[in-house]
Structure 1
Amino acid sequence: MSEDEQEHLTKTEARAGATPHMTRVILAMSLILIVGIFAVLYLFWSN
């Protein structure tokens, strides 16, 4: 292959694997947990 030619890969080939979307679930659950903890702390210390 010469320098002018480019090899085109699919997203899966470029990543060398699948993307199961677990990162979104973990981030969403973490965000909800942190917001809940801050709400409890705010209510506890605001009195």
Structure 2
Amino acid sequence: MVENDEAIHIDSEQARAGATPHMTRYVLGYGLVLVIVAFAVIFLFV
């Protein structure tokens, strides 16, 4: 078996094998707002 001690340097996009469009922060933000609105409606009408 051959040992290779060379470091392999690749950028983060190649390491993930895809792009990250940062849509998660918007989905989490909209979900948080909807939960707050739902709790406010429940609090007001119950």
TM-score by length of 2: 0.82
Instruction: Using the TM superposition, give the Cα deviation of residue 26 of structure 1 relative to its aligned residue in structure 2, in angstroms.
Output: 0.5
Over aligned residues, Cα RMSD in angstroms? 1.3
Aligned residues: 44
TM-score by length of 1: 0.81
* Percent identity for Structure 1 against Structure 2: 50
Provide Cα deviations, 1:1-47, integer angstroms capped at 9, x if missing partner.
Answer: 61x332121010111110001111111000000000000001111xx
Query: Moved runs in structure 1, 4+ residues, more than 6 A?
Result: none
- Structure 2: gaps spanning 5 or more residues: none
- Structure 1: gaps spanning 5 or more residues: none
